Amino acid sequence: MATSTFGQLSIAPLGAGDLIDRAVRLYRQHFFVLIRIASPPVIVAAVGSVFFSISTRQLVSTSSSLSLVFAVLLLLAGLVLLVVGYLFSLIVMGGATRNLVTHLLRNEPVSAWATYAAVKSRFWSLLGASILVMIWVGISSSVAFGAFYIVFISITLAGVAMAQVAPVGFLITAGIISFVVTALLATWLFFFLFGRIVYVPQAIMVEGKGVFEAISRSFTLAKGNVRRLMAMFIFTLFVFYSALAILIVPLGFYGWVSGVDLSPLNQAEWPAWYSIGYGVITESSHILLAPIWMLGLSLLYVDERVRHEGYDIELMAARQLPEMPKLDVASPLAPALALDTMKALPPRPSGSILGLH
């Protein structure tokens, strides 16, 4: 027997395993639709990867000035397409949150049309937010790597100073443990910073906020989500490399039979066809990765609001009670689902939302 939507949104905090499990179930239910949603930006990035591979090889092998100019232009075009593809991916992921959250809350169908209609409705806000998110990710990475580098160098210098008095085995063991602990702390620091802005697209598309309001809103919601974000990252990384391994095996086998040195250290010596194929497959693997992030972050957003704001109670009241009159009163909480970002949606069909019966 199917349960209601609100029965699926438990007030109890969902752990990383619950979030991943629900994301995988939704992923399996809507696999082909999610692939269609994620494909266009990945195709743009894949074309940029091809241009980049061709141009880098021409730069080192050409002796003609005209060919050199063409290679430089092709290189710039490849870099632009790569950046646009990644930026477009963030925009599409942001647009998909509206469709995914309405599916979670109102059981409305997941569709590529609804996703790109949402992107069109708030394109400039999503573009500005995506650029700021990319900048923030760069800053977070720099801070985390800088902290790791400083601590690692300090530990290395301390190990050199102790080399005269401490046993070699002790120093090696202490060095390995220190490296692992430092790397884990740097990773935690990165996800602590990165986690501050993961709810920006949801705030824009679900709550109808502007870019800077959405950033402030994301900072407010992002409390205690570091471990779940890290778990999602590890899971999606595993999925990515699993898909990459499956797709790359036929190409690698054919390259090995053809006498290609498959070592990543010898990429400069790879033939053009293998280098281009490897780049296209690597970018194409992101098609399988992006939907998991879309689903995971949407589920995480809903769960944060359930835990912090009684989101499920508000939604239950919205279903059972008539529409509230429009009063000139500011609510202390964000709306359950802002209708000013898209036109009013059709009535909700009944049925289980998260596929948990």
Three-class SS state of 346: coil
Q: What is the pLDDT of residue 354?
A: 37
Tens-digit pLDDT profile for residues 243-297: 777 878 888 888 888 888 777 666 667 777 787 788 778 877 777 777 888 888 8
Contacts of 282 (CB under 8 A, 6+ apart): 49, 244, 248
Q: What is the pLDDT of residue 4?
A: 43
Task: List strand residue ranges (DSSP E) for the chain, in order.
Answer: none
Q: How far is CA 276 from each of CA 270, 283, 356, rounded to the nearest angstrom? A: 10, 11, 43
pLDDT in tens, the chain (357 residues): 344 444 444 445 567 777 788 888 888 888 888 888 888 888 888 888 888 877 877 777 767 777 788 888 888 998 999 888 888 888 888 888 888 877 777 777 888 888 888 888 888 888 888 899 889 999 999 999 999 989 888 888 887 777 777 777 777 887 888 888 888 899 999 999 988 888 888 888 888 888 888 888 888 888 777 888 888 888 888 877 777 778 788 888 888 888 887 776 666 677 777 877 887 788 777 777 778 888 888 888 878 877 777 665 655 555 555 555 554 444 555 555 665 555 444 444 444 333 333
Q: What is the pLDDT of residue 100?
A: 80
φ, ψ for residue 150, nearest 5 deg? -65, -45
Give the Cα separation of 173 and 177 in Å (integer): 6
Give the Cα separation of 158 and 249 in Å (integer): 44
Closest-CA residue to 202 (of 20, 89, 341): 341
Residue carrying the six token digits 């438990």: 10
Q: What is the pLDDT of residue 10?
A: 46
For the chain, give the number of residues. 357
Structural contact between residues 118 and 343, judged by C-beta atoms closer than 8 angstroms = no
Q: What is the pLDDT of residue 146?
A: 92
Q: What is the pLDDT of residue 237?
A: 81
Stated pTM of the model: 0.74
DSSP state letter for 327: -
Give the DSSP letter string of 302-317: HHHHHHHH-HHHHHHH
Token digits of residue 124: 């400039």
Exposure string for 271-295, b = 16+ CB within 10 A, e = fewer = eeebbbbbbbbbbbbbbbbbbbbbb
Q: What is the pLDDT of residue 144?
A: 92
Q: What is the pLDDT of residue 141?
A: 92
